[in-house]
């Protein structure tokens, strides 16, 4: 969890001042728990300045930037390379202690701008090439490490956060309506945009080459299934790749802990990491868990206790009492430098705070298990398309037991899409009888949706409906294939957005989150799996469950339920922030009126107030996003008045 920064003049005669890079690093002090340094090339016609805010999580000698060839090559990097042995062998290097940054420069010398294709791990870096008078930048395959930049005719400026760029760029803090409408719709569809029109992000799996005449963006990799032949036992191969991924993410500092929610994903990581510590005769793995009161819908204590008891990890339990989702929210917005799609972030920050206080520097996180391993719902389409109606019925019936969906309704949908006409006609008759009974009951209150939430004028100005159709809605041709739908989910813009949110939150507590599920070989392997390895007998992520046989407690390995955070959020808002919500939607309503549809937001709020236990997810999202947007706009306005 280091921070990187840099400035490259794009006009001769405009030297880079050391004071500028120092000012950028000062804005990232929270990332520099183990020091910071900078380097300036004052000899070249254009020159460059690079800075590094250092959190030592890879057990290296000191902070960067690092140089080679008498300063003709320099790098600043926030990285952890997982295929070091392979790279050392390919490059003919015998010094196994070589820092990751130096290894990156050697890779650049060998393969040039193709070097990211040879890398595995999490990274964001910039290499200044004095001979070419160019800056080469790259971001990892999934966007775990952040990279923001501003480019104009005079300078190119980059950093791990937006604030340091504003500190020296002179770029205006003009808000992006495009980004605001996307936030309200839950649609982070543009991989380059940020909340500010003059600041951009380097997309995941892309590189950037900057010279005095151009800024060239290239994609160096795309998500594809592994081309390697599948082993006969997929669970055994998964266990091998997963264990290797966990081991890679424990490299470096001994101050490694793990989040433990009691769910399948975090429990799998904690158990595998705990076993690896035990086999290496290291101390017990520290784990950190949020504990809600017994009997609440959020209570996962029995599953957490099962993992702690079986693996004998060193469990820290963090009690969550009177949950207040907007507590410290102004501070959180400052950290995030804009809005974000994570209502539970204040709870996650509590884990980072406690882990940091316990001396942790790295925290293993189960985020991404659903996406990487896949719930396998596309397999249902594959069964229907193949005419395997009895197998489809058994799978839907089992899935209904797990997820609570209507068996008959789902089956009818698949028959309508794929089935023979006589089956459709027969089932339609049955469905009509059921519908007649349903219609006699009182109708449930209608929930809002993003179309109701967003101001229609803003939606038109930002082409929101077209954007949502293009990027927020899975095409039918994709839905019909488990492999295609799996890849679509992995490529979704929510993935790097989530990493950036967690990165900024963790950095403020001196923590680096690492994500064993987001490992390139593991992702490629899961994407190549047939549908029945992902969904079987109603259990999604089936290959993971099988792979954890004898490692996970059975109660966790085969648990069917998932925690619904919605009710906790509703009761937290109404119980602790009623005055705030009333103020935002009434006396301060003018602030968000250009962006949201106030009558619809007010109606959603009234429905929540009337029946909080029956609140729909769209209604809750509608109100939460409106409040979050209002508080952020207030911050922006205050900064503008103080400037």
**Which 8-state DSSP code applies to residue 377?**
T
Q: Please give the C-alpha separations between residue 333 and each of 166, 429, 526, 573, 626, in angstroms, as whole numbers.
A: 16, 54, 35, 17, 14
CA–CA separation, 337 and 333 (whole Å): 6
Check the annotation: does 100 bind a ligand. Answer: yes
In order, the DSSP letters of 242-257 are HHHHHHHTT-S-S-EE
* Residue 201 neighbours by CB under 8 Å, 6+ apart: 146, 147, 148, 149, 191, 192, 193, 194, 496, 500
List 5's β-bridge partners, or say none.
Answer: 51, 159
CA–CA separation, 572 and 275 (whole Å): 37
> In Å, how far from its chain's centre is CA 367?
7
Task: Give the three-class secondary structure for 328.
Answer: coil
In order, the DSSP letters of 126-194 are EEEETTTTEEEEEE-SS--S--EEEE-SSEEEEESSSHHHHHHH-----B-HHHHHHHHTT----SSB-
Q: Pull the structure tokens for residue 273.
A: 């990491």
Q: Are strands 155-159 and 535-536 parallel, antiparallel or unpaired?
A: unpaired
Q: Where are the beta strands (DSSP E) in 405-562?
A: 512-514, 535-536, 539-540
Query: 150 phi and psi, to 5 degrees?
Result: -135, 135
Share in percent of the chain as helix, strand, coil (round to 5): 50, 15, 35
Pick from 164, 159, 87: nearest CA to 125: 159
Q: Please give the C-alpha separations between residue 249 and each of 85, 172, 276, 516, 519, in angstroms, as whole numbers.
A: 15, 39, 12, 7, 10
Binding-site residue positions: 100
Binding-site residue positions for L-glutamine: 100
């Amino acid at each position: 969890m280091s921070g990187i920064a840099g400035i490259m003049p794009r006009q001769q005669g405009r030297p880079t001042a050391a004071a500028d890079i120092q000012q950028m690093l000062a804005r990232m002090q929270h990332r520099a728990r183990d020091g910071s340094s900078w380097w300036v090339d004052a000899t070249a016609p254009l020159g460059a300045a690079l800075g590094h805010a250092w959190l030592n999580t890879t057990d290296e000698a000191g902070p960067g930037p690092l140089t080679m060839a008498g300063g003709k090559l320099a790098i600043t990097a926030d990285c952890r390379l997982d295929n070091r042995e392979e790279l050392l062998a390919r490059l003919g290097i015998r010094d196994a202690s070589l820092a990751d940054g130096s290894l990156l420069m050697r890779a650049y010398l060998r393969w040039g701008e193709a070097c990211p294709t040879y890398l595995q791990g999490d990274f964001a870096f910039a290499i200044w090439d004095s001979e070419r008078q160019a800056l080469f930048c790259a971001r990892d395959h999934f966007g775990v490490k952040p990279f923001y930049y501003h480019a104009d005719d005079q300078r190119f400026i980059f950093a791990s956060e937006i604030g340091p760029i504003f500190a020296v760029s002179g770029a205006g803090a003009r808000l992006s309506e495009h980004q605001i409408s996307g936030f309200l719709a839950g649609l982070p569809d543009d991989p380059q945009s940020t909340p500010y029109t003059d600041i951009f992000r380097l997309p995941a799996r892309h590189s950037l080459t900057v010279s005095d005449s151009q800024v060239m963006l290239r994609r160096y990799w795309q998500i594809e299934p592994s081309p390697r032949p599948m082993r006969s036992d997929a669970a055994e191969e998964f266990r091998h790749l997963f264990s290797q991924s966990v081991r890679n993410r424990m490299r470096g500092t001994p101050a490694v802990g793990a989040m433990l929610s009691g769910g399948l994903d975090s429990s799998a990581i904690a158990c595998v990491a705990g076993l690896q510590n035990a086999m290496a005769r290291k101390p017990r793995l520290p784990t950190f868990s949020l504990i809600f009161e017994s009997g609440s819908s959020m209570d996962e204590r029995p599953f957490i206790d099962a993992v702690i008891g079986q693996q004998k990890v060193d469990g820290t339990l963090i009690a969550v009492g009177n949950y207040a989702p907007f507590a410290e929210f102004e501070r959180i917005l400052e950290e995030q430098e804009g809005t974000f799609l994570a209502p539970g972030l204040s709870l996650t920050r509590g884990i980072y705070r406690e882990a940091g206080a316990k001396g942790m520097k790295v925290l293993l996180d189960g985020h991404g298990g659903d996406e990487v391993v896949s719930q396998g719902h596309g397999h249902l389409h594959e069964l229907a398309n193949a005419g395997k109606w009895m197998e489809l019925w058994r799978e839907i019936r089992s899935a209904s037991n797990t997820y609570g969906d209507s068996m008959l309704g789902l089956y009818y949908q698949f028959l309508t899409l794929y089935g023979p006409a006589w089956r459709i006609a027969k089932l339609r008759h049955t469905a009509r009888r059921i519908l007649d009974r349903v219609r006699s009951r009182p109708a449930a209150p209608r929930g809002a949706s993003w179309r109701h939430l967003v101001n229609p004028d803003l939606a038109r100005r930002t082409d929101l409906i077209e954007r949502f159709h293009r990027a927020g809605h899975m095409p039918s041709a994709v839905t019909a294939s488990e492999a295609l739908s799996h890849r679509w989910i992995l490529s979704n813009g929510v993935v790097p957005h989530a990493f950036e949110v967690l990165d900024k939150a963790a950095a403020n507590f001196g923590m680096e989150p690492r994500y064993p599920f987001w490992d390139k070989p593991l992702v490629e392997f899961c994407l190549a799996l047939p549908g029945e390895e992902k969904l079987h007998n109603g259990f999604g992520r089936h290959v993971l469950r099988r792979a954890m046989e004898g490692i996970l407690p059975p109660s966790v390995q085969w648990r069917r339920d998932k925690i619904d955070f919605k009710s906790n959020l509703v009761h937290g808002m109404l119980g602790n922030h009623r005055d705030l919500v009333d103020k935002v939607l009434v006396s301060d309503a003018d602030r968000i009126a250009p962006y949201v549809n106030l009558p619809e937001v007010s109606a959603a709020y009234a429905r929540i107030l009337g029946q909080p236990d029956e609140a729909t997810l769209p209604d809750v999202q509608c109100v939460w996003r409106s409040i979050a947007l209002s508080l952020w706009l207030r911050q922006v306005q205050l900064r503008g008045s103080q400037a």
